[in-house]
């Protein structure tokens, strides 16, 4: 391993909270969610049901996706009450 | 200073001496489960806590597995942690022992060594600790109540050193030591506090530095993380010597990694661990009176195996007799026998070793028996007969 | 009942995430949705304890971690004992040296809770440590490849209870873990589903308001082990509630209350047919299994209903 020189903390403690950010799970995706902002009411139900989370609130209160991490599961698309999210081929 | 003070000895069983030391060590968390013959230790500690003499949390867990689990978690939280067990209890803790060392938890545990089932037996042998000897714990054997008392302080100071961060087992022979009352010289509470100030952990579970403990390591990292235990273990002999030096300055008492008696010119050296060392010492003294050139080496630091401390005492002997209080069925030697033979091989020494398993399930061994074992080896040497290799089972009726 | 400020809107939770993306859970993992919601609602400062499980493995691929809170994993069966040790340590360290007290949540899967970890859980509940234990229940040992556990429902196909020519799926009913937990007389125990997020997050708040052990039994839909499309993870959890398969209730100081009455339940078949682990129960030759499972679901609901009524 090239990184072996890196200091390993006692017992392999990880001191970088939230460091899975280093790993882009967006590459797993087969289909990607796309939001129709005209239909989005900003209810955030998609956000509360996203397992990653890979959904952010925009300044206008509507949502956007973080495609670096979205795995394309499609939960948001199924759960959106206004059917604002479509799953599209990558 | 205290060297010059007259010593007043307090009569205590080894278990009580340990509990008293643990109280003076001002531990924070004790998580334990009762098992004979260690129970007196945790009974006394419960009394200290319930009487307000020790400000600690006593977690009366529902099993030894949970005892060690709670100890590991409390240790990771930054607490000074003690527990005590024996026999089946240590066996039930087995998988957690590796977590304690792997996560670098400076837990101190008294192990009142006892035989393992089946058949069930509550008396002394070393099968319990020998089954755990590869778990990454430092192991110390004590030979009397005084050593047990002193080693508790030393064990905490060693374990909690940031260069070490390994759990330490203080092994005392079940019943032979745990229930035997002796006079013990104690240190004052202020001396204890000076020798062992509150633990200052560098990394601990706290929201001020949200860290992940016990992550999932795949083949790309597991080996390196695990190797830390080896590196820490290698530092133990020197660090323990420093700790003992500091303790010696305060008390005038020092035990070393091994206990040596008349090894300088010994033709045959007995090697053993635990309470049998005192019997063997008496036996060696008697043999010397008869002109038999025997010596004794007791293993006090067992893990890491103190090769550097043992070699000078045995390198000139004509034969060694290793007395093991545990079996390793199917192995070429019993546990300490294996270590001694490996040590000799690495040192390029071809000293014959007679390896005996003795005293299983609490069967006593007498000075006379040590003498007959030793004289037989010496007679063989004199007659030019080869020393019988392999493992022999002393006194078993077959 | 304790007065606890109620979470009424999602907006109150936005920005409170305690996990980061990039974790390796399967796409559409129901457990992660539930765990995320629990953490959003949790009081702080918080320490998380995790039993060996999918959650533990996928969230801490060394040298990375998804956790933004202190997190500790020791072994499979000892999460409750580990939580006990942390609670005891913080108690004494705050008393002696002024260390900050923390809330503690322990997560275990159904294997780590119903089966191998039940002794440690029972011990910790009996001793009364202040912590919240969450069993996220995907009804089988998913981490090792979908083997049956004490939580697996009657008839379900797993890799150790396959649908065979002679024996069809698991032959035993699911263990009633809630009743075991409630028998410890802890102040608060509840069931929950990530589909009913508001019910869940408020149960977390309530659980954490007690100075003692509390318990949440969370349904965790598993796309791999239950065989459904990842996009339906929440839908399947909702069907579990709407068919009364997963009653949402709480037991607060011994008082039962159904928190989500299902006056017009959907037929159980609706829940079964969307997942391949259970859909074979709809075949005519398995009618007896289906009847037994239905009877189990109905009897439990009736009993809970009666208990709720008598405490109302
Ligand atoms: S669920 Fe639909 S409407 Fe609600 S915020 Fe998400 S995209 Fe917008
Ligand atoms: S597709 Fe899945 S992972 Fe991607 S944003 Fe939607 S819920 Fe999150």
Hey, where are the domains in chain C? 5-310
Best mutation target among B211, B216, B219 (most A Cβ atoms within 10 Å) is B211
Structural domains for chain A:
32-90 (3.30.70.20)
User: If residue C137 lies in a helix (H) or strand (E), which one and from where to where?
Assistant: strand C132-137
Q: Which residue of C has its CA nearest to B60?
A: C127
Ligand 2 site, residue A85, Cβ cutoff 6 A: no
The answer, for B232 touching chain C at a CB cutoff of 8 Å, is no
Cβ within 8 Å, pair A21-C62: no
Strand partners, C214: C132, C188
A contacts of B224 (beta carbons < 8 Å): 1, 4, 8
What ligand is nearest to the CA atom of residue A31?
2
User: If residue C287 lies in a helix (H) or strand (E), which one and from where to where?
Assistant: helix C287-311
pLDDT confidence tier of residue C62, bands split at 50, 70 and 90:
very high
Give dist(CA A67, CA C231) in Å, integer.
Answer: 17
Does the structure show a pLDDT above 80 at C3?
no
More confident residue, B42 or A1: B42
ipTM of the complex model = 0.97
B10-251 and B259-393 in the same fold: yes
When the pLDDT of each residue in chain C is averaged and rounded to a whole number, the result is 97
Q: Is A57 helix (H, G, I), strand (E, B) or coil?
A: strand
Cβ within 8 Å, pair A52-C60: no
Q: Which is nearest to C30 in space by CA: C188, C229, C208?
A: C229
Q: How far is CA B12 from the centre of its chain?
A: 20
pTM score? 0.97
Structural domain boundaries of chain B? 10-251, 259-393
Is the separation of the CB atoms in B153 and B110 below 8 Å?
no
Task: Count Cα neighbours of B205 within 13 Å in the Cβ-side half-sphere.
Answer: 35
Cβ within 8 Å, pair A9-B213: no
What is the pLDDT, as a whole number, of residue A2? 45
Comparing CB atoms, the residue among B165, B214, B224 nearest residue A10 is B165
The answer, for B28 touching chain C at a CB cutoff of 8 Å, is yes
Class for domain B259-393, per CATH? alpha beta
What is the pLDDT, as a whole number, of residue A6? 61
As a whole number, mean pLDDT of residues C212-220 equals 98
Give dist(CA B85, CA C67) in Å, integer.
Answer: 35
The label of the residue with tokens 């000139």 reads B316
What ligand is nearest to the CA atom of residue A54?
2
Share of chain C above pLDDT 70, in %: 99
Interface of A with B in 10-69 (CB under 8 A): 10-15, 17
Cβ within 8 Å, pair C81-B198: no
Which two tokens mark B63? 């099993």
**Terminus-to-terminus CA distance in chain B, angstroms?**
57
**Closest ligand 1 atom number to CA of residue A83:** 2
Q: Which residues contact B283 (CB under 8 A, 6 or more apart)?
A: B270, B294, B367, B368, B370, B371, B374
Cβ within 8 Å, pair B215-C61: yes
Cβ within 8 Å, pair B217-A12: yes
Q: C-alpha angle with apex B28: B27 to B33, nearest 5 degrees?
A: 85
C5-310: which CATH number, 3.40.50.620, 3.40.50.970, 3.30.365.10, 3.40.50.1970? 3.40.50.970
Cβ within 8 Å, pair A17-B212: yes
**Closest ligand 2 atom number to CA of residue C230:** 2
Q: What is the pLDDT of residues C286-308, one digit of tens each?
A: 999 999 999 999 999 999 999 99
Ligand 2 site, residue A33, Cβ cutoff 6 A: yes
What is the pLDDT, as a whole number, of residue C288? 97
Q: How many CB atoms lie within 10 A of CB B194?
A: 12
Interface size between A and C, measured as CB pairs under 8 A:
119
The sign one gets for the Cα dihedral B376, B377, B378, B382 is positive
Q: Is A48 helix (H, G, I), strand (E, B) or coil?
A: helix
If interface means Cβ-Cβ distance under 8 Å, which residues of chain B face chain A? 102-105, 165, 202-203, 209-215, 217, 220-221, 224-225, 228
Ligand 2 site, residue A71, Cβ cutoff 6 A: yes
Q: How far is CA B341 from the centre of its chain?
A: 20
Residue B293, burial from CB neighbour count under 10 angstroms (0-12, 13-18, 19+) = middle
Q: Which residue of B has its CA nearest to C84?
A: B70
When the pLDDT of each residue in chain A is averaged and rounded to a whole number, the result is 94
Q: How many CB atoms lie within 10 A of CB C112?
A: 31
Does the structure show a pLDDT above 60 at A42?
yes
Beta pairing, strands C249-252 & C188-192: antiparallel
Ligand 2 mean position to A55 CA, how many Å?
Answer: 7
The label of the residue with tokens 């398995």 reads C286
What is the pLDDT, as a whole number, of residue C312? 76
Is the separation of the CB atoms in C13 and A57 below 8 Å?
no
**Closest ligand 2 atom number to CA of residue A77:** 6
pLDDT per residue of chain B (398 residues) written in tens, 0 to 9: 445 454 689 999 999 999 999 999 999 999 999 999 999 999 999 999 999 999 999 999 999 999 999 999 999 999 999 999 999 999 999 999 999 999 999 999 999 999 999 999 999 999 999 999 999 999 999 999 999 999 999 999 999 999 999 999 999 999 999 999 999 999 999 999 999 999 999 999 999 999 999 999 999 999 999 999 999 999 999 999 999 999 999 999 999 999 999 999 999 999 999 999 999 999 999 999 999 999 999 999 999 999 999 999 999 999 999 999 999 999 999 999 999 999 999 999 999 999 999 999 999 999 999 999 999 999 999 999 999 889 999 999 98
Q: C-alpha angle with apex B361: B271 to B99, nearest 5 degrees?
A: 80
pLDDT confidence tier of residue C4, bands split at 50, 70 and 90:
confident
The label of the residue with tokens 């508790």 reads B152
Is the separation of the CB atoms in A67 and A77 below 8 Å?
no
What is the pLDDT, as a whole number, of residue B398? 86
What is the pLDDT, as a whole number, of residue C149? 97
Cβ within 8 Å, pair B214-C72: yes
Is the separation of the CB atoms in C113 and C76 below 8 Å?
no
Give dist(CA C303, CA C51) in Å, integer.
Answer: 32
Distance from CA of A82 to the nearest CA of C (A): 16
Is the separation of the CB atoms in B108 and B167 below 8 Å?
yes
Comparing CB atoms, the residue among B102, B209, B210 nearest residue A11 is B102
Comparing CB atoms, the residue among B62, B78, B211 nearest residue C123 is B62
Q: Is B47 helix (H, G, I), strand (E, B) or coil?
A: helix
What ligand is nearest to the CA atom of residue A85?
1
Does the structure show a pLDDT above 60 at C58?
yes
Give dist(CA B285, CA C126) in Å, integer.
Answer: 56
Q: How far is CA C263 from the centre of its chain?
A: 23
Q: How many CB atoms lie within 10 A of CB B80?
A: 27
Q: How many CB atoms lie within 10 A of CB C14?
A: 14
Cβ within 8 Å, pair B211-A14: yes
The answer, for B353 touching chain C at a CB cutoff of 8 Å, is no
What is the pLDDT, as a whole number, of residue B308? 98
CATH fourth-level superfamily of B10-251: Thiamin diphosphate (ThDP)-binding fold, Pyr/PP domains (3.40.50.970)
Residue C71 region by backbone torsions, left for phi larger than 0, else alpha for psi between -120 and 50, else beta: beta
In order, the DSSP letters of B204-255 are -S-TTS--EES-B--TTTHHHHHHHHHHHHHHHHHHHHHHHHHHHHHHS---
Give dist(CA A28, CA B389) in Å, integer.
Answer: 62
Best mutation target among B79, B82, B105 (most C Cβ atoms within 10 Å) is B79
Does the structure show a pLDDT above 60 at A4?
no
Best mutation target among B205, B221, B222, B228 (most C Cβ atoms within 10 Å) is B205
Does the structure show a pLDDT above 70 at C33?
yes
Measuring from atom 4 of ligand 1, which residue has the nearest CA? Answer: A43
Q: Which is nearest to C200 in space by CA: C186, C180, C182, C219?
A: C219
């Amino acid at each position: 391993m090239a990184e072996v020189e890196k200091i390993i903390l006692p017992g392999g403690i990880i001191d970088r909270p939230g460091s899975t950010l280093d790993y882009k799970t967006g590459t797993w995706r087969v289909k990607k969610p796309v939001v129709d902002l005209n239909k989005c009411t900003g209810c955030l139900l998609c956000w509360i049901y996203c397992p990653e989370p890979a959904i952010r609130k925009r300044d206008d209160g509507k949502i956007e996706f973080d495609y670096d991490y979205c795995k394309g599961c499609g939960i948001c698309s199924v759960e959106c009450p206004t059917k604002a999210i479509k799953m599209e081929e990558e | 200073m205290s060297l010059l003070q007259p010593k007043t000895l307090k009569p205590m069983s080894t278990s009580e001496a340990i509990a008293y030391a643990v109280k003076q060590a001002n531990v924070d968390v004790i998580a334990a489960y009762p098992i004979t013959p260690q129970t007196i230790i945790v009974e006394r500690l419960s009394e200290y806590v319930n009487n307000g003499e020790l400000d600690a949390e006593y977690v009366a867990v529902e099993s030894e597995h949970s005892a060690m689990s709670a100890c590991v978690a409390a240790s990771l939280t930054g607490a000074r942690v003690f527990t005590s067990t024996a026999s089946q209890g240590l066996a039930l803790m087995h998988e957690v022992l590796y977590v304690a060392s792997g996560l670098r938890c400076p837990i101190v545990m008294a192990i009142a060594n006892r035989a393992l089932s089946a058949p069930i037996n509550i008396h002394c042998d070393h099968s319990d600790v020998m089954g755990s000897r590869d778990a990454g714990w430092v192991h110390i054997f004590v030979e009397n109540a005084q050593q047990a008392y002193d080693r508790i302080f030393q064990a905490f100071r060693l374990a909690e050193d940031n260069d070490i961060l390994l759990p330490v087992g203080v092994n005392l022979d079940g019943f032979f030591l745990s229930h035997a009352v002796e006079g013990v010289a104690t240190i004052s509470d202020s001396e204890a506090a000076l020798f062992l100030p509150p633990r200052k952990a560098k990394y601990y579970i706290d929201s001020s530095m949200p860290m992940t403990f016990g992550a999932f390591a795949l083949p790309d990292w597991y080996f390196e993380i695990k190797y830390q235990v080896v590196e820490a273990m290698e530092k133990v002999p020197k660090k323990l010597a420093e700790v003992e030096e500091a303790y010696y300055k305060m008390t005038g008492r020092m035990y070393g990694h091994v206990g040596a008696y008349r090894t300088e010119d010994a033709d045959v050296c007995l090697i053993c661990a635990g309470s049998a060392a005192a019997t063997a010492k008496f036996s060696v003294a008697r043999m010397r009176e008869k002109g038999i050139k025997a010596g004794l080496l007791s293993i006090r630091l067992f893990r890491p195996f103190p090769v550097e401390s043992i070699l000078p005492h045995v390198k000139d002997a004509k034969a060694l007799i290793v007395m093991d209080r545990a079996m390793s069925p199917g192995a070429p030697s019993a546990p300490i026998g294996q270590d001694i033979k490996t040590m000799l091989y690495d040192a390029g020494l071809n000293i014959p070793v007679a390896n005996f398993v003795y005293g299983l399930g609490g069967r006593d061994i007498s000075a006379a028996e040590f003498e007959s074992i030793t004289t037989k080896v010496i007679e063989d040497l004199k007659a030019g007969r080869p020393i019988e290799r392999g493992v022999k089972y002393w006194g078993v009726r077959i | 009942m304790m007065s606890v400020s109620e979470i009424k809107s999602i907006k109150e939770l936005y920005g409170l995430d305690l996990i980061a993306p990039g974790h390796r859970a399967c796409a559409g993992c129901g457990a992660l949705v539930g765990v995320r919601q629990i953490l959003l609602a949790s009081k702080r400062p918080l320490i998380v304890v995790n039993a060996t499980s999918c959650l533990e493995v996928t969230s801490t691929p060394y040298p990375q971690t998804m956790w933004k809170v202190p997190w500790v994993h020791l072994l499979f069966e000892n999460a409750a004992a580990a939580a006990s040790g942390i609670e005891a340590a913080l108690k004494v360290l705050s008393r002696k040296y002024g260390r900050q007290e923390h809330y503690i949540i322990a997560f275990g899967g159904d294997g780590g809770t119903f089966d191998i970890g039940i002794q440690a859980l029972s011990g910790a509940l009996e001793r009364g440590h202040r912590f919240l234990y969450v069993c996220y229940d995907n009804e089988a040992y998913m981490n090792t490849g979908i083997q049956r556990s004490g939580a697996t429902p009657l008839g379900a196909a797993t890799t150790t209870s396959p649908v065979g020519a002679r024996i069809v799926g698991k032959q035993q009913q699911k263990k009633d873990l809630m009743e075991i937990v409630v028998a410890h007389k802890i102040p608060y125990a509840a069931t929950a589903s990530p589909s009913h997020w508001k019910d869940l997050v408020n149960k977390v708040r309530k659980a954490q308001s007690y100075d003692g052990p509390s318990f949440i039994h969370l349904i965790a839909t598993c796309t791999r082990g239950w065989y459904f499309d990842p996009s339906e993870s929440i839908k399947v959890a909702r069907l579990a509630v709407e068919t009364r398969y997963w009653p949402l209730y709480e037991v607060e100081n011994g008082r039962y209350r159904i928190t989500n009455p299902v006056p017009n339940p959907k037929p159980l078949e609706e829940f079964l047919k969307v997942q391949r682990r259970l859909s074979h129960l709809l075949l005519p030759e398995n009618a007896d299994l289906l009847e037994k499972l239905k009877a189990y679901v109905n009897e439990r609901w009736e009993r809970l209903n009666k208990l709720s009524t008598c405490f109302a």
